Structure 1
Amino acid sequence: MVDGTGQHGRQRGEGPRRQGEIFDAALSLLAENGYERLTIEAIAERSTVNKTTIYRWWPSKAALLGAALVGTPALRFDVPDTGSLRGDLEALVDAVLALLTKPPAADVAVAALAAAAHSPELAVHARTFFADRLARENPVFERAATRGELPPDADPTLLMDLLAGAVWVRVVLRQTPIGEDFARRTVSFVLDGVRPR
């Protein structure tokens, strides 16, 4: 990847730095103005990168946002290793909860995922974001399988959909308070069910 300075700029490490500035500009403008009002021109102005350079790297704002969602440190969190599947899942729920409630990540995540629901092109690129997250979370389930905490036919994607979906509905759609034991109770319902033991 090269920037407006060409090959020498990439050798000096300017390419990755400029990419980060473009991602920051794109995501902050998305949170401020929404997807429909977001333009490459505005991203170029805020990041001080020529728009022709941006178009050289990404053919559309949807492609740029898809790359930004995966590439920005603001939406990342460490994959836990607590020694148990239950502990790891509770930590993951807490991480998703923080992602959707603490600015600036919350503003970006909510705006991006809401935009993906209305833009088929962005939705295609957003799938890369979710695939990346699942790939990062896979060690949780691999370790759990090794410890005998998961059956062979367990579906890690479904598990994470149930857990992250609960956070999304409670925080974004219902907008109701989250108790301190939300992660514990949510993981318990998914792993143990709701019937009396």
Structure 2
Amino acid sequence: MSIRSGPRKEEAIFAATLELLAVHGYDKLAIESVAVRSGVNKTTLYRWWPSKDALLAAALTNSGLLSIDVPDTGSLRTDLLAVARQIARLLTSERTAPIVTAALTVAPRRPELAEVARTFFADRMAREQPIFQRAWERGELRLGLDPASIMDLLAGAIWFRLLLRGGEASPAFLAETVDLVLEGGTQNL
């Protein structure tokens, strides 16, 4: 006998939540609208998620729409380059860019949503941990180096370029950013 960890229509619920977030923004996202769009009763949603924030956190973390595949290319550099491409795709895709932008731009204005962002990024870091474990085992990464700092620098550069500067994340930019994060911008003088 299997034990359910969510409602039967969980993926439809998450999809509806993220679609409505993208179209209407956080302030107009309503449990009632998610229920209608996903074809479930409002009481079902409240049984599993006591608030809009809880539902949004679950949708952001568990929906396949925002997933990133953890690469295993044989080197830290090419693994990080593959992750960088996926981050850039999430931030530029017509389907995912509005979701990411809506979810993260509202967090600074609503302190209770800061926890949603923390949950999302903690989950992503946990999923990316094997990249760094393999790099340590191959001797590519100094023991004790914080993987979260590496990902913050890498993802932060991509986010800043795309969302704040309005630039592009070309393959050359992504490769240069990975190299800067891994090697730094200094030369032996």
* Alignment TM class, shorter chain as reference: over 0.9
Matches within 5 A, 1:65-104: 65-104=56-95
Letter matched to residue 55 of structure 1: Y
Shift of 1:16: 4.7
- Matched to 1:115, the amino acid is V
5+ unaligned residues in a row in structure 1: which ranges?
1-9
Task: Give the aligned length.
Answer: 186
Structural RMSD (CA): 1.6
Question: What is the rounded CA distance, in whole Å, between the counterparts of 1:91 and 1:21 in structure 2?
Answer: 28
Q: 1:21 aligns with which of 3, 9, 12?
A: 12
1:157 maps to 2:148: yes
The answer for the alignment partner of 1:39 in structure 2 is: 30
* CA separation of 1:181 and 1:16: change in aligned 2, threshold 3 A: farther
Instruction: Give the aligned partner of residue 106 of structure 2.
Output: 115
- Match for 2:85: what amino acid? D
Q: Deviations over 1:3-56 (max 9, x none)?
A: xxxxxxx98x8x654111111111101000110111111111111211111111
CA distance in 1, matches of 2:109, 2:13: 23
Equivalent residue for 2:173, pick from 166, 182, 185:
182
* Distance in 1, Cα, partners of 2:37 & 2:86: 29
Deviation at 1:80, TM superposition (A): 0.7
C-alpha separation in 2, matches of 1:17 and 1:72 = 14
TM-aligned CA deviation for residue 118 of structure 1: 2.0
User: Distance in 1 between the 2:113 and 2:160 partners?
Assistant: 21
Q: Percent identity?
A: 53
